[in-house]
Structure 1
Amino acid sequence: MERIALRVRWSGRLYELDVDGQDTLLDVKRALSELTNVLPARQKLLIKDVTTGKPAMDGTIALAFARKKPDEPIACVMVGTPEKDIIVYDVEREESDVLNDLDLDYSRSVIDAVHNNPEYHQLIEQVTRKTELNIINPLRPGKRLLVLDLDYTLFDMKSSASNFLDLKRPFTDDFLKVAYQHYDICVWSQTHWRYLEMKLTELGILTHNEYRISFVLDRTSMFSVSGIVKGKSRKHQVKPLKVIWNKFPQFNAKNTLHIDDLSRNFAMNPANGLKISAFRDAHRMKLTDNELLHLSEYVQHLSSHDDFTKLDHNKWKEILRKSK
């Protein structure tokens, strides 16, 4: 009886299983459920059938067909959330909503002051050292980098719905398919990894067949900065792109675009930030919101430029009109 070594990475941990070569992914999910408390129905195993080059379908392929060479271990990534954490997620969502509703976007002068503060640049080095970037899908030579926020950028996190897909911003998949032709894609969210993973999975973003997410970052790779707004000290977190650039030198200020609904999130990299309108009230706005439809044209246009910092992304709609 053929035995296969299976290495499964989930939530920052590595699980090693010894399984029968004729076991299917469904069999593996049942075993993983015992180890992780993630129900089989909530698991997604990102693994390829090497005979077709496409993702293997649950329960339809023996693991032996997912191996390139005899005696070679199979490595894959699992996404999924334990039931107890799905319940906790609702609490975090409410807390996050309060913070976002109270926070103010900073003026350009305040953002510049934050960006030029040497103390914060030292923090970047500290965050870089503690950040472990796990590649979900391989980075491709010659591609630019697109860093995307999730909440209120691609997903209305505040509205209620029986299906996550009802809260997904219109044209999200179309936008990501266009972007993926020119960019490797990172999702960076101001939440914890286990909730980020759940959202991306439920939205179908992490497992889509026509585009790939290369890696994700969560709140643990952010830090807080302070600035003076209207005479009052304001504190907020930022997403410093240099953490990524330090890890992957092929990316830099010239070839990276960061899209977010809050401009304060790119206070450390103002020249790389594009503020998108927040997607809220999904049930009403899904009929008229076409922001991502137009933005897909802009990221395609931008990809031909040698230096992204030479363009004022605050004027992306104007730039797009002039390019036609």
Structure 2
Amino acid sequence: MAEDTLKMGLLELKPNFKIMMVGSTEADIEDACQKPDDLGEIIDDLDEIETEEESLENSSIYLAKIQKRIKEYKITELNAPRPDKHLLVLDIDYTLFDHRSPAECGAELMRPYLHEFLTSAYEHYDIVIWSATGMRWIEEKCVCWALLIETAIK
């Protein structure tokens, strides 16, 4: 990390290198450290939830939404389960792909040694890739992934 007083021209950055500048002024830091004068009354609403007749997770509205999704959801099975193999479910976002990285392309989002891990795991498990992300983005990530695997095999 560069010192605050260092001039950017002295950093010897590569062409097209991306940097992120983060910071706050001393005045902003000082303001954030002070208790606001107009704080008002603080109410602990967690106590109220516990005294309600119906808990949030058992709410009829949410249960109806879950039942509707279960009824309408279509599962696409790409391959039949293999006999005597347990199922390993992996989340694509933040487990297989690191979306917090400063990557510039999909290949750089993959976790280190991902191919080796999946190859080893497949010996013992059937693998399902899961995501709460929309199917369009899952397909995009998998296409990128497939191209990388194809390139690695050649």
Provide TM-score, normalisation by structure 1: 0.26
Bigger Rg, structure 1 or 2: 2
More strand by share: 1
Provide TM-score, normalisation by structure 2: 0.50
